Amino acid sequence: MYQLIIIVHVLLGLGIIGLVLMQQGRGADAGAAFGSGSSGSVFGAQGSASFLSRTTAIFAALFFTTSLSLAYLSGQSTVVADLMADQKIEKNAGDVPLVESAPVKAAGSAATAPVAAPIQPTAAPDVVVPTEGK
């Protein structure tokens, strides 16, 4: 039941968005007064404004009803779902295999490369500023 109301709620929301985008603004009525031919529209002499506004109002009322019903149904839930309390930490130290390290070769062997000593930072060189005219 809850999922069905959510689906209807989302569809009503998308329908309201579509209907609002299809409606003309209030400034479009001034252009209709000078003979833009709105009397010959599909929805009759009044134009599509009354049909779209009525449909939007119906969808808005249904959207409001589904919002209230979803709020009521979510408040009636007796099961408290706390995600932080449900997590259990299990130690899996026994399940993790140990990784054996590679055998260390002798220092004189040809397979090993010599290790260089770490580079020590040196002092910055003195900056010489050239003088003009010399």
Say if CB 42 and CB 48 are below 8 A apart: yes
CA dihedral of residues 46, 49, 54, 56 (deg, nearest 10): 170
Q: What is the pLDDT of residue 1?
A: 85
Say if CB 104 and CB 112 are below 8 A apart: no
Q: What is the mean pLDDT of residues 11-20?
A: 95
DSSP conformation class of 106: P
**Residue 23 confidence (pLDDT) above 70:** yes
Domain residue spans in the chain?
A: 1-21+47-77
pLDDT tens, residue by residue, 87-109:
666 666 666 666 676 666 666 55
Mean pLDDT estimate for the chain: 74
Among 26, 25, 24, residue whose Cα is nearest residue 48? 24
**Residue 17 confidence (pLDDT) above 70:** yes
Q: What is the pLDDT of residue 16?
A: 95
Q: What is the mean pLDDT of residues 35-46?
A: 54
Q: Kindly report the pTM of this predicted structure.
A: 0.46
Q: What is the mean pLDDT of residues 29-51?
A: 59
